[in-house]
Amino acid sequence: MISVFALAAVSLVAIQLFQMRRTFSISDNMFNVGVNNAMDAVLKQINGEVFQTASHPATAFNYQELDSLVYDELVFNGIDLHPVVGLYDGSQGSFLYSSDPSHEDDLETSPYRYSFHPIGVVSANQYFIILSFPTTSLFLQRNTNIYAYMSLFLVFVIVVMFVISLRTMAVQRRLDQMKIEFINNMTHEIKTPISTIALACEMLRDESISQDVASRRNFLEIIADENQRMRMLVETILQSAKMSNKNFRINPRPVDINDIVEKAGHSFDLTLANRGGTLETNLDTSCDPTIEADELHLTNLVYNLVDNGIKYSTDAPHITLSTSFSGKNVVLRVQDRGIGISKADQRHIFEKFYRVPTGNIHNVKGFGIGLNYVAQVVRLHHGHIAVESEPGQGTTFVITLPVNFK
């Protein structure tokens, strides 16, 4: 389809360029025809009237009348130009008259050369009336401007539409691919906790296990964790969909930023313990940690960033959460020691459905909407988010939020 469209666009451009060239060629031919017709009329009058009683044009010719006659006939034939007019003696190789002596070189090379015979009789000398049009190209351009501009405009429109269409198709194809991946990942992500919960429930039905307090507690914790995980997945999807609406608004109220960060981090204690990881918090307590923010979305923001840091760590994850206050802003940093993000991927990580390639890590799951959700939360809080990362060196997300929501 793209090849056919490209061929059609190139063909249209080629046709337009060909038509422009043809238009200029036709205009040039019409100009030459007009000049020849005008000079035929001029020579007819000169041979019949001007030289009836003269044997030499240098002594009997009215040069001003020649200029006026040539110009009038040119205008009558649709050529509103005043050429340089010369009367040339071919036998002597010199000009008997030139309306502009500075253009005699142009007259000698001009193709507009017309022979005539004084008193209507062929003489030994060869006389020529020569015309030179210094502004011929301007005349042709003026007469073909409307067609040239229309053609150029159409060519420009075709090229622009072709480029826009190609970009739109490329973006659409990428979005379609990301949506397919999103559906596949979503199905897998939700299916996994459902299967885990079903298995845990099946084990609890076994009387021998249900009577074992430790085993029962373990299975109940698994069910609770998987249920929490599934709830967060669904919540992220729903909130991301809601935020796509331009009329969506958050509900800011006074909250303790340090408390939110600490609670969100502790929700990963079991996950980090299972992977031998650690979570470190460096919370600024030197001033009042109260800011105006939407508690639900701010909690989900921290949760998503910590979850990413754990998922994209090849070894035991190490996550550092820190807060600091600078003027009227609070700065939240979420740092991990994972695989890092390349510069090329950093330009796209906040786009919806975009997922960073994971290389040889094949167990990383996600929808590609977590960081997009984070970016939207920051935007709705009138804040700013930045990423500092190098492949293999980990990643740090720096979020700056105003203390007082405006």
Tell me the one-letter amino acid at 404.
N
Assess whether pLDDT exceeds 80 at residue 128: yes
Ranges 21-35, 187-201, 317-331, most confident: 317-331
CA atoms within 13 A on the CB side of 157: 8
Compare 401 and 25 and report the one with higher pLDDT: 401
Show the domains of the chain with their CATH numbers: 2-134 (no CATH), 143-241 (1.10.287.130), 249-402 (3.30.565.10)
The rounded distance, in Å, linking the Cα atoms of 384 and 332 is 11
pLDDT band at residue 66, thresholds of 50, 70 and 90?
confident
pLDDT digits (tens, 9 = 90+) for 346-358: 888 888 777 776 5
Least confident of 20-24, 176-180, 320-324: 20-24
The rounded distance, in Å, linking the Cα atoms of 352 and 308 is 15
Least confident of 50-54, 290-294, 309-313, 332-336: 50-54
Output the pLDDT for position 47.
64
Mean pLDDT of 373-396: 90
Q: Around Cβ 289, how many Cβ atoms within 10 Å? A: 19
Mean pLDDT of 150-168: 76
pLDDT band at residue 133, thresholds of 50, 70 and 90?
confident
The partner residues of 253 in beta bridges, in order of sequence, read 293
The rounded distance, in Å, linking the Cα atoms of 164 and 34 is 45
Which one, of 307, 312, 231, lies nearest residue 271 by Cα?
307
Rounded to a whole number of angstroms, the CA Rg of the chain reads 43
DSSP character for 393?
S
Assess whether pLDDT exceeds 70 at residue 370: yes
Assess whether pLDDT exceeds 80 at residue 187: no
C-alpha dihedral sign at 322, 323, 324, 330: positive
Compare 338 and 243 and report the one with higher pLDDT: 338
Residue 24, CA distances (Å) to 12, 138, 142, 148 in order:
19, 12, 11, 9
pLDDT band at residue 291, thresholds of 50, 70 and 90?
very high
pLDDT band at residue 56, thresholds of 50, 70 and 90?
low
Query: Residue for token digits 């029962």?
Result: 216
Q: Are 290 and 401 in contact (CB under 8 A)?
A: no
**Residue 64 backbone class (left: φ over 0; alpha: ψ -120 to 50; beta: rest):** alpha
Strands 329-336 and 395-402 turn out to be antiparallel
Assess whether pLDDT exceeds 50 at residue 53: no
pLDDT band at residue 15, thresholds of 50, 70 and 90?
low
Output the pLDDT for position 396.
93
Residue 285 is encoded by which pair of tokens? Answer: 């307590």
Q: Are 186 and 367 in contact (CB under 8 A)?
A: yes
The rounded distance, in Å, linking the Cα atoms of 262 and 280 is 10
Residue 342: its H or E element = none
Q: b/e map of 143-152 (b: 16 or more CB within 10 Å)?
A: bbeebbeebe
Assess whether pLDDT exceeds 70 at residue 11: no
Assess whether pLDDT exceeds 90 at residue 385: yes
Residue 23: its H or E element = helix 2-45
- Give Cα 112 to chain centroid, integer Å: 52
pLDDT band at residue 322, thresholds of 50, 70 and 90?
very high
The rounded distance, in Å, linking the Cα atoms of 264 and 205 is 33
Compare 62 and 141 and report the one with higher pLDDT: 62
Output the pLDDT for position 149.
67
Tell me the one-letter amino acid at 150.
M
DSSP character for 118?
G
- Give Cα 228 to chain centroid, integer Å: 42
For the chain, give the mean pLDDT: 77
Least confident of 31-40, 55-64, 372-381: 55-64
Q: Are 331 and 278 in contact (CB under 8 A)?
A: no
Q: b/e map of 385-400 (b: 16 or more CB within 10 Å)?
A: beeebeeeebbbbebb
Output the pLDDT for position 120.
53
Residue 229 is encoded by which pair of tokens? Answer: 């995980």
Q: Which residues contact 274 (CB under 8 A, 6 or more apart)?
A: none
Backbone phi, psi, residue 214, to 5°: -65, -45
